[in-house]
Amino acid sequence: MNLSSPQLEIQACYDQRTNYDNNLTVRRALRLVELAPRLQPGQRMLDLATGTAIIAIAVSPQVGDEGDVIGVDFSAVMLDQARRKIANAGLNNIQLIEADVETIDFPENHFDGIFCSSAIVLFQDILALLTKGYHWLKPDGFIAFSAYAETSHFTPLIAKVCANNGILLPNLHEPVGSAEKCYHQLQQAGFAQIEIKTEQFGRFLSLDEAKQFWKGTWLHPTGHPLSELTAEQTENLTAEFQRQIETLATADGVWLDITMFLAIAHK
């Protein structure tokens, strides 16, 4: 794989996540499967940025031994976790491919469905990927992806802290950070019968949890200025973030918004 510097940073981030599966990562992925069209035995599914194969494992029994599931990811650590889970589940119809989702290619009219849980914002050219996905799908095949709102995960607060220090931080979630933007991207790629559901996965954090939520790091598929900061500058940003978080504390804790858009569309 010939990955760009931002992609290598994203890859390294996920390679460090040796305990990836948790309540949120599992719940958001399975919700996407629930909302997708009913799968049938013999169908062929593609899971983009499969990670630990949460979706691939969930849809595997639905397509059965006559069908197959392909999961693609560029994190070897994620895929190692996926392989262990697949072996433990005794599933034989899942193929995992270590590759860059944006450069891999498949035949036209090849898949009945494509999934991508919460990772679409990590791709450098979302429209190009959706357009490729459109061609990979069989007639009336579907794509199902999820994306966070621009307001999720304290992103506006983090951007404000950075701006206060003269740093313009790109919002990772901006390209598909609203239902309208998700719809537009799918429409531009050629999809029809587009449905976007908005759901809240947020929760209250304790003040300590909230203060530790952000430690001056960021991900963006085209790069970001935080990767160039000194340790002292990062510490200053983190300290200001924690001060701002304290002002948000209530009797219930600090609300963490995790608004998600779950998009389903057909070829």
Provide the residue-wise pLDDT of the chain in tens; the chain has 267 residues.
Answer: 888 898 989 998 999 988 888 999 999 999 999 999 999 999 999 999 999 999 999 999 999 999 999 999 999 999 999 999 999 999 999 999 999 999 999 999 999 999 999 999 999 999 999 999 999 999 999 999 999 999 999 999 999 999 999 999 999 999 999 999 999 999 999 999 999 999 999 999 999 999 999 999 999 999 999 989 999 999 999 999 999 999 999 999 999 999 999 999 999
CA distances to 9, 123, 136, 195, 256 from 37, rounded to whole Å, are: 34, 25, 17, 12, 30
Reduced to 3 states (helix: H, G, I; strand: E, B; else coil), residue 145 is strand
Would the CA dihedral through 112, 129, 29, 9 be positive or negative? positive
Find the domain containing 254 and state its range: 5-266
- What CATH number has the domain bearing residue 112? 3.40.50.150
Q: What is the DSSP letter of 246?
A: H
Averaged confidence pLDDT in the chain:
96
What's the pTM value of the predicted model, to 2 decimals? Answer: 0.95
- Residues 33-81 pLDDT 10s: 999 999 999 999 999 999 999 999 999 999 999 999 999 999 999 999 9
- Residue 164: CB atoms within 10 A of its CB come to 11
Closest CA to 105 of 63, 175, 46, 36: 46
What is the number of structural domains in the chain? Answer: 1
The predicted pLDDT at position 168 comes to 95
